[in-house]
Amino acid sequence: MDKGKRNKSKPDNRSDNVEKLQDQVQETIMNLEGAHESLHNEDLPLDQKKAIIEKNKRREESIADKRDEIRDEHEFQQRKD
């Protein structure tokens, strides 16, 4: 096989990036809500509650970052079309 053919990468297909990012945001929100509900469990040890709270902070940051990416990607698609 020719080296040039083996090293060719696929073109960047960004057509469904917004949809994928929105799905990721939805999934992260569901995880955030589920974790928030688990905090109501009185039998949950304090260290686990703290870990959940920290993870939820990271989830909230991730949601905000992905929403920024969605806006950027949407703007890119608008300019491209």
Sketch the domain layout of the chain as residue ranges: 16-80
- Asked whether the beta carbons of 28 and 59 are under 8 A apart, the reply is yes
pLDDT at 78 over 90: no
Collapse the DSSP code of 46 into the 3-class scheme (helix H, G, I; strand E, B; otherwise coil) and give the result.
helix
Of residues 3 and 31, which shows the higher confidence score? 31
The per-residue pLDDT for 56 is: 98
Whole-prediction pTM value? 0.78
pLDDT at 81 over 80: no
The phi, psi pair for 29, rounded to 5°, reads -65, -45
